[in-house]
Amino acid sequence: MKKIYDSPAAALDGLLFDGMFIAAGGFGLCGIPELLLDAIKQAGTKDLTFASNNAGVDDFGIGILLQTRQVKKMISSYVGENAEFMRQYLSGELELEFNPQGTLAERMRAGGCGIPGFYTKTGVGTVIAEGKEHKDFNGETYIMEEGIFADLSIVKAWKADETGNLLFRKTARNFNPPAAMCGKVCIAEVEEIVPTGSIDPDLIHLPGIYVHRIIQGEHEKRIEQRTTRKREDA
């Protein structure tokens, strides 16, 4: 099975359609599948629903698709760094479904494992729980959350072998593995592709069984919030 593609556009060929549901990896500006997002922008696919921890910033990540009005709905945990996101939401142009971060990650992982729903205490007694099934276990109340089953998963990894086994670096590992699991098709963009067998099996973060297509490319290394302090000898 061929998994390595020459470009983001080639990897997305035959998969995109208006109104589709996409799960995207990334945490802040770390581990964002930026090349695939740009290719989706160029393709002009619209009315998209994204499940992603956040929407990047105005000119990076999913933010570039908000600028072109290609996103209809976001399922997210944190949206505080994107002014266009805020403007569209407050004006009623964009649907938003808030999820606590752990709940969102578990919804993705559950979908990848074929689990349609699970119970969690997170969100009980808040607006998150409105309209959801409640159930008591051992005297504690839980709400049911549904697993996420996406049409497409797009993720960014550090390294892949030719069969799609993935390694992530540090914070980029937060949402990318569960996002990769829950799509009917998963595309991974990576910094390096190495020969099959060259990665120690004990070090693999995501097995290649979840990954259908791979591209290699150059990526930005943005810092979302740069915090510095004065030198003491200054």
pLDDT score, position 227: 79
Domain residue limits, the chain: 8-115+148-216
What pTM, to 2 d.p., does this model score?
Answer: 0.92
Segment-wise mean pLDDT, segments of 10 residues, the chain, 234 residues:
94 98 93 96 97 90 94 91 88 94 97 97 95 97 98 97 96 94 97 95 96 92 76 72
Task: Put residue 47 in one of left, alpha, beta given phi > 0 → left and psi -120 to 50 → alpha.
Answer: left
Q: What is the DSSP secondary-structure string of the chain?
A: ---B-SSHHHHHTTT--TT-EEEE--BTTBS--HHHHHHHHHHT--SEEEE-S---BTTBTTHHHHHTT-EEEEEES--TT-HHHHHHHHTTSSEEEE--HHHHHHHHHHHHTT--EEEESTTTTSGGGTTS-EEEETTEEEEEEEPP-EEEEEEEEEEEETT--EE--GGGGTTHHHHHHTEEEEEEEEEEEE-TT-S-GGG-SB-GGG--EEEE-------SS------TT-
pLDDT score, position 226: 75
pLDDT score, position 234: 60
**In contact, 112 and 181? CB cutoff 8 Å:** yes
pLDDT score, position 75: 96
What CATH code is assigned to 8-115+148-216?
3.40.1080.10
pLDDT score, position 82: 84
Task: Put residue 154 in one of left, alpha, beta given phi > 0 → left and psi -120 to 50 → alpha.
Answer: beta
